[in-house]
Structure 1
Amino acid sequence: MNHNDRLTRLRYGLDIKDEDMVEIFAMGGVTLSKEEVQALLKKQLTETTEAADERAENVYEMTCTDEQFERFLNGLIISQRGAKNDNEPALELNSGNANNLMLKKIKIALKLTSDDILDILEEAGVVISNSELSAVLRREGHRNYKPCGDRYIRNFLKGLALRYR
């Protein structure tokens, strides 16, 4: 699962319009036009994306970089919760597992509790324990840290769509 897939599924799950996507990117510090945002979300039709090679990652007209994706998530937090005060440090770019980062930032943006996340996953048909969720939300490098797999993030985004659409 690449950043374009995550972005497309998140956009669908939260029912975000193209104009709002442009604004959210701008709040995160990335200037993109409406056409560029649409290119990030539109799959490129090639021979390799047809049934001959179903396991290949989806190819999009424009690739979403790590920085663009994280800045979008930061912009989503700002759009939902407002900008931080001047005396607070600015949002920093992090490296690490994109699925873990996405889950953490969506949790912050939508003011979700761990129980809310467990409920969203359960609506999508996935049951995990509170300790498993806690391990996924920990900082990378912590002894109990666990990377979040694509299956969990797909089902989380599916649950968001069921809840918010």
Structure 2
Amino acid sequence: MNNNDVIRRTRYTFEFEDSKMIELFALGGKEVTRAQVSDWLKKEDDPEYKKIDDEHLATFLNGLIIEKRGKKEGPQPVAEKRLNNNIILRKLKIALNLKDEDIIEILKLARFLLGKHELSAFFRNPGQSQYRLLKDQILRNFLHGMQIKYHPNSKE
């Protein structure tokens, strides 16, 4: 899934202003400008549109975790250089303090059914035989369900 879609949908769901977005990046360990954030949030057909790289998205998600859960003791997490949908879902799960049942319920809000065993395969170690890559469709439905659950004006 497109990193810009993830950041755009997360911003909309929680109604983050530009200043809040900049603050979340700072919490994750990177200084960004209002212009950068603005360019990342633009639609693909806008001439000012810029793709957000994996490291910046990971920084934003780490900042979201710190914002929602608080700073942990010791060294802070380092933003991954490469992201996939599994890592994005794991970071959102941590930030929102979700259990597997909560994720399944959020997916149901988007009218997407997923079993607990299917879900657990996405959180396994990539070296395990039961590990499965999270497809764009599932992450897209999770983000949609998250919007239904957390955005104040969303209708199911």
Same fold (TM over 0.5): yes
- How many residues are paired up? 151
Contact 2:123 2:131 in 1 (8 A): yes
Deviation, structure 1 residue 146: 0.4
Further displaced range: 32-41 or 124-133: 32-41
Alpha carbon RMSD of aligned pairs, Å? 1.8
Give the share of equivalent positions with the same residue, in percent.
39
Q: Which residue of 1 aligns with 2:66?
A: 78
Q: SS state of the match for residue 68, structure 1? A: helix
Q: Which residue of 1 aligns with 2:18?
A: 18
Unmatched tracts of structure 1, length 5 or more = 47-58
Is 2:101 aligned against 1:115? yes
Unmatched tracts of structure 2, length 5 or more = 152-156
- Looking at structure 1, the residues matched to 127 and 72 of structure 2 have their Cα atoms a distance apart, in angstroms, of 27
- Looking at structure 2, the residues matched to 94 and 44 of structure 1 have their Cα atoms a distance apart, in angstroms, of 24
Is 2:148 aligned against 1:132? no
Is 2:144 aligned against 1:158? yes
Further displaced range: 153-162 or 133-142: 133-142
- Looking at structure 2, the residues matched to 105 and 60 of structure 1 have their Cα atoms a distance apart, in angstroms, of 28
Q: SS state of the match for residue 84, structure 1? A: coil
- Looking at structure 2, the residues matched to 122 and 35 of structure 1 have their Cα atoms a distance apart, in angstroms, of 36
- Looking at structure 1, the residues matched to 3 and 45 of structure 2 have their Cα atoms a distance apart, in angstroms, of 18
Contact 1:14 1:160 in 2 (8 A): no
Is 2:42 aligned against 1:66? no
Output the TM-score relative to the length of structure 1.
Answer: 0.84
- Looking at structure 2, the residues matched to 130 and 96 of structure 1 have their Cα atoms a distance apart, in angstroms, of 26
